[in-house]
Amino acid sequence: MVLSFLLMLPTISNGEEVSLDKKIGQMLMVWFEGSNITPEIERMIRDHKVGGVVLFRWAGNLESKEQIARLNTELQAMSMKELGLPLLISLDQEGGSVTRIPGATDFPGNMALGATGNRDYAHSVGNIIGKELSALGINMDLAPVLDVNVNPKNPVIGLRSFGEDPALVSELGRAYIDGLQSAGIIPVGKHFPGHGDTATDSHTGLPVVNYSRDTLERVHLKPFADAIDEGLPCIMTAHITVNSIDKERPATLSKKVLSDLLRKDLGFDGVIMTDAMDMAAISEYYGPTERAAVEAIKAGADIILMPQYRDDWLGSIGKTIDEIKTAVEEGEISEKRIDESYERIVALKKHISQPQIDPSIVGCEEHKEKELEIARSAITIVRDEANMIPLDISKKLLVVVPTSTFSAAEDPSLDYNNPGHYIREHYSNTKVLEVSSNPGFEDLRRAVSEATSSEAIIVFTQKGNMNRGQITLTKKILELGKPVIVVSMDVPYDLAELPEAKTCIAIYGKKECNMNALADILFGDDQAEGSLPVTVDFKTRL
């Protein structure tokens, strides 16, 4: 049922006299708590004149499809009434491991798309995600990830990347962007100048990368440069230090990266948005985030994402605005520089289309069918020297699963799925054994005992190359000489640690569609078509 409370967007005037407070406020994108409009977010819009919000499930913003639609419609009505400008309403609906909306079409993720190598699939994912966002009153997606994942120990990108080939990331990224825009959604390419070769999570520390300028240009910049050439309207910065460009400052705070490299060298004239400014990479480097916001604007950023501390987020918004305003009044930042950002933001908002609010299409059957089709096409049989696929068994099947693959304790806002459930639906005589994410001696003992009495074993791994206990456990099971299938649920680098495994599969995620697709392949209901989008270099057999 189409809801009747549609947003009517009047023409945005370019000739208005705009206060400095309003210009600065429009440069802020904030988060807030609650499933309804609260006095705090009302004050942010009315008094602080903020230009955008970012929604999270952990903040209580995303409880149900109908609630999300109502909240966003009311937020837009308030922004239009108070400021005469629409609100940028955003979230991270990347697909796969990073999704926010309950009941939406999640899709198997970017690396799964990389495994298909199919541009039409990437466009479909962007288009369907875009349609579902628009149906809920959301007009901006903080996606796609354009990072080229070349570091096997990357703790924060991984499956969020399309792969390690810059040309593939570029092609699928542009198709995804086209899909979002065809649904009326503003895409945000991230994380410039490339977060794919980091070994530190910028949520917890400041990554530093040491590759050459040539490597930066050939590998990491290509997807961004190609997307810019095709009109990408917004780019998010990376909280990383790229030594070949600026050894002193992270990219988000670096004029050399944002103004010189992105604006001048690559010719980007759209909106530059920072990554969240409350992340440790910034707060540890530059202390109070309100001061870091000034440095980001001086570097060339237009939108400051989440500038506030979480223990006093409303008060910190005011402090951030005061800090920026003082910097302007004292000549540290010119008002012309603020005007440039304001004008870019207003120009971006002119592309916001009137949403057709209709929560019923979110996660609809048609979208779910496409989701499963793509997930099936992504499944990659890395090797099957034992000819185990499809499975042909008549006795007990053992499934060994690290609990981290489905434990909601990692993040209660995310949905996790136990792979054994989907396999048991196809073959009832299946025992599921849960072990820890980094199994120890007791896990190993139980697994070997159960495997000894089983006809065949499926062992799931998740970042086994960083959780060595998984590799040790899998090797012990392989030593039994039983038929074993190793299934990598994350970036399949861990398979390189298991040269003894004769049958290996990569599924690139742990969403319901990944699991259903795997079960269909294992039991012969479909055939795997995917190819590895990253290099798995099997070590010499022991």
**Known catalytic residue at 526:** no
Angle between helical axes of 119-134 and 166-182 (0-180°, round to 10): 40
Three-state SS letters, 250-278: CHHHCHHHHHHHHHHHCCCCCEEECCCCC
Please tell me which residue in 201, 203, 260, 415 is annotated as part of the active site.
Answer: 203
Residue type, 387: N
Q: How many CB atoms lie within 10 A of CB 70?
A: 20
Which of 502, 442, 431, 506 is closest to 473 using CA atoms? 442
Please say if 48 is a catalytic residue: no
One-letter identity of residue 244: S
Q: Is 476 in contact with 418 (CB distance < 8 Å)?
A: no
Is the Cβ–Cβ distance between 132 and 367 less than 8 Å?
A: yes
Residue by residue, DSSP assigns 430-447 as EEEEEE-SS--HHHHHHH
Contact status, residue 522 vs residue 513, Cβ threshold 8 Å: no
Q: How many CA atoms lie within 13 A of 479 on its CB side?
A: 11
Peptide bond into 123 cis (omega under 30): no
Taking the C-alpha atoms of residue 233 and residue 228, their distance in angstroms, rounded to an integer, is: 8
Q: CB-based contacts of 110: which residues, under 8 Å, 6+ apart?
A: 94, 95, 96, 144, 145, 159, 160, 161, 162, 172
Paired with 381 in beta bridges are 505
φ, ψ at 50 (rounded to 5°): -65, 150
* Host H or E run for residue 89: strand 88-91
Q: How far apart are CA 256 and CA 240, in angstroms?
A: 13
Out of 226, 246, 275, 278, which one is annotated catalytic?
275
Q: What residues contact 5, with CB distance under 8 A and at least 6 apart?
A: 70, 73, 77, 357
Q: Which residues does the annotation mark as catalytic?
A: 203, 275
